[in-house]
Each structure stands twice: as structure tokens, then as C-alpha cells.
Amino acid sequence: MPAMLVTGANRGIGLEFARQYAADGWSVIATARKPEAATELTAIGGVEVKQLDVADADSIDAFVAALGDRPIDLFVNNAGVYGSRDLDREDWLKTLEINSVAPTLLAARLKPNVAASEHKKMAVITSKMGSIADNGRGGAIIYRSSKAAVNAAWKSLAIDFADAGIAVVILHPGWVQTDMGGPNALIDVETSVSGLRAVIDALSLQTSGRFTAYDGSEIPW
Ligand SMILES: NC(=O)c1ccc[n+]([C@@H]2O[C@H](COP(=O)([O-])OP(=O)(O)OC[C@H]3O[C@@H](n4cnc5c(N)ncnc54)[C@H](OP(=O)(O)O)[C@@H]3O)[C@@H](O)[C@H]2O)c1
């Protein structure tokens, strides 16, 4: 039974990842900042819920230590925040920590676990709003820059991890009906995650390092 790990799984897109992979018989490790409050997640049968606040170095250390050398076939870094629409220094740094620094440090820490697995895949849930080429409307500087930074970092990971046989994909989930996406978003979590899973299924070392949307289309950087 392959194993997958998804962060920020107590709601939204992360919760749906846990649901769909568990329904497919995968072994699912799903993280939440407050596992005791993650009632929808714990209600999914067979999912292991672990505490992880990606903005807290001690939490990351404890999580990685508890994982030990357990093989992880697929690591999905999903946890993220939108940040402020205003140019607030503290909020910008915090958003960069959660959306850019933490996903990349986690990927580096989990590299041995993924390399020891059969599937050897990593995915980061970023956003088309991190595309510089696609930015025709401006605004959202904090969110856009945090996603552009994680895109750049994970493009390097795709190249750097190829030697270990790990394939990496940088994913745009669409505009999704979640707390972050809001009620006017275009698609529901089921559509988004089904599409993202198809992209992850098709991922190989040959296609590693692409910026791909939930419908399989490639996004310009
Ligand atoms: N929804 C969209 O339209 C859309 C579009 C493009 C990209 N995305 C990306 O998709 C991912 C998931 O978004 P979503 O729409 O599902 O958002 P969401 O409903 O707001 O959920 C965000 C998740 O991230 C977790 N999280 C936030 N800060 C964290 C931290 N410091 N440590 C650990 N977990 C943390 C949240 O946990 P708490 O409940 O504890 O806060 C929650 O589980 C994000 O990376 C987002 O940028 C979403």
C-alpha cells in the first residue's frame, strides 16, 4: 500500500487530498496545526493525523523525528495562507515563511523518506498567481511573491532531486471553493483534487519540474 503525506489537511484542498487517497486505499498521513480540532479529518477512516505547524521550527523537527525513516511515496505540500492585501512587513515575512520557506525545507527534510519509497514523488500546491508571466492585474503582492518564490525553489528541487529518482511537480489547483478561494470560486474541491491527482499520477522524472494546473495544462512561469 503506497503512503502519502499531505500538510494543512484539516480543511479545504488538503482535506480532500486526504479523503481521495484514503478512499483509494493509500496509507495517508495528514497534518493539522490543531489535530484535536480537525474533526472532519479524523472522521475519515484510516487516516493518521499528525500535528504540524509549518511556521514553527520545533513543530517541524518533532514531526520529522517522529516520522523516522518511514518511506513516503508522495509528499503533497498543501498548507498555505493568502496573507494581507496590504504591504505589511510582518505579514509578508510570515507568508513567505509558510508558503515558500517551509515547503522547501520540509521537502529537503523528507527527501530520504521519499527516496526510500516506490513512487518517489513530491508536489507543492502553489498558485497561478505566482506566475509572473500571467500577472496582468497586479495586486496581491504578498501572496504572488510567496508563490513565485516557492515556484523558483521547487524548480531547483526538481533538478536537484532527480539523482535520487524523485519527480517533482508544481501545481495550480484552480480557483477552488474553500475558505481561501471563497464561495464564488469556479470549481469544488473534488474537481480540483481529482484533476491534481491525475497530474500526479502522470508525473515522471521525464516531466519533473513543470508548473501544471489541475486540468493538466502547463502554466508559464
Ligand atoms: N482555494 C483556491 O482557490 C486556491 C487557488 C490557488 C492556490 N491555492 C493553494 O492551495 C492550498 C490550499 O488552500 P485552500 O484553498 O485549501 O485554503 P484553506 O481552506 O484556507 O486551508 C489552508 C490550510 O493550510 C493550513 N495552514 C495555514 N497555515 C499553516 C501553518 N502555519 N502550518 C500548517 N498548516 C497551515 C490551514 O490550517 P488551519 O486550519 O490551522 O489554519 C489549512 O489547513 C494553499 O497553498 C493555497 O495557496 C488555493
Q: What is the CATH number of the domain that holds 159?
A: 3.40.50.720
206 found inside a domain: yes
Type of residue at 132: I
**Residue 219 within any structural domain of the chain:** no
C-alpha to C-alpha distances, 203 to 92, 148, 197, 210, nearest whole angstrom: 32, 21, 10, 9
Pocket of ligand 1, beta carbon within 6 A: 7-8, 10-14, 33, 52-55, 78-81, 98, 125, 127, 173, 175-176, 178-181, 185
What is the average per-residue pLDDT within 55-84? 98
Average pLDDT over residues 156-180: 98
207 found inside a domain: yes
User: Residue 145 falls within a domain, yes or no?
Assistant: yes
- The confidence score (pLDDT) of residue 62 equals 98
Q: How many DSSP H helices and E strands does the chain contain?
A: 7, 7
pTM above 0.75, yes or no: yes
Residue 20: inside a domain? yes
Helices 141-160 and 89-96, packing angle to 10 deg: 30
Indicate if the pLDDT at residue 199 is higher than 90: yes
The pLDDT assigned to 26 comes to: 98
How, if at all, do strands 121-125 and 167-172 pair? Answer: parallel
Residue 92 falls within a domain, yes or no?
yes
Closest atom of ligand 1 relative to the 8 alpha carbon: 43
Q: What is the pLDDT of residues 104-121, one digit of tens each?
A: 999 999 999 999 999 999
pLDDT value for 46: 86
**In this structure, is the dihedral angle defined by the CA atoms of residues 41, 46, 50 and 52, taken in order, positive or negative?**
negative
Query: Is residue 218, in this structure, part of any structural domain at all?
Result: no
Site to probe by mutation for ligand 1, drawn from 178, 189, 193 as the one with most ligand atoms within 8 Å of Cβ, is: 178
State how many domains the chain has.
1
* Domain span holding position 24: 3-213
Q: Is residue 220 part of a domain?
A: no
Measured distance CA(178)–CA(91) in Å, rounded:
21
